[in-house]
Structures are given as structure tokens and as C-alpha cells.
Amino acid sequence: MNTHRYGVAPKLSLENEIDATLLARNQNVCREYLADPLVYNKVTPRWFAEVTRAMRETRANAIALAGLPVLILQGSADGIVDPETSRDFAAPLREYVEFPGFYHELFNEDERGQVFAVLDRWLDNHFLG
């Protein structure tokens, strides 16, 4: 990897601009996220460039995942990761479950039992069946 592109301001970090109110419909989850001292809400230009590159490569090679056990879970009201983009990415994989009205952190929604049930069935079918 050519790292000289990031040498201008290598310690520069910026707010990630994630709106905590978009994590879960339960606002207690959002408050806990904001109060968590382990949440690091900064990103560097290099991090952003590398994540963008990795997402581009993953989308370009999604068909290679078609034979692997891949499950994508998505909230239909996710304001952080676009549900339509997830649907498009998951189309060749055929293992996509969208939860109506759920936000980004499916396992922190009040109805997370639905999400765990889908995950449990999928794991059983792919690894225990």
C-alpha cells in the first residue's frame, strides 16, 4: 500500500458524524452509546479512504460470496446504512432479512428477540443441520 498519500496530516482526526439517535428506536440505547467511554467517534482520512476502498472491492466481488453462508440482517428504517444498498448487495446471496421499522442496531431494538430467532434458525440450518 502506498502510504505517502496520507502524510500531509497523519494525526488529523474528524468527528464521524454518526447521529446516535439513528442507532435504535429506544432512546436509552442512544444515551448509553453517547455515555460509553469506549465509543470512539473520530475517524482519520486514511481510515475513511481504506473503508471506502474495502466497501468498493466487496461490492465488486459480491458474487464470489454467493457460495458461502452469508446472512445480511437489515432494519428497514436504518438511517446509517441504506437498506436499498444492502438489498442490492445481498441480491445474489439470497440470504437477506429486513426487519420493518428497525433502525441500525438490530440487536439493541426492543424486539431484538425476532432478530435473535432469525439468526438462531440460520445458524442451525447452516452449521448444525
Whole-model pTM: value is 0.82
Cα distance between residue 90 and residue 97, in whole Å: 9
How many distinct structural domains can be found in the chain? 1
Which residue segment(s) compose the domain that 75 sits in? 4-128
pLDDT digits (tens, 9 = 90+) for 74-93: 999 999 999 999 998 888 77
Average pLDDT, the chain: 89
Residue 94: per-residue pLDDT: 75
Residue with the bigger pLDDT between 2 and 68: it is 68
- First-to-final CA distance of the chain: 42
Cα distance between residue 23 and residue 36, in whole Å: 14
CB 94, CB 125: distance < 8 Å: no
Q: Which CATH number covers residue 106?
A: 3.40.50.1820
pLDDT digits (tens, 9 = 90+) for 18-60: 899 999 999 999 999 999 999 988 888 888 889 999 989 988 8
Alpha carbon of residue 10 to chain centroid = 26
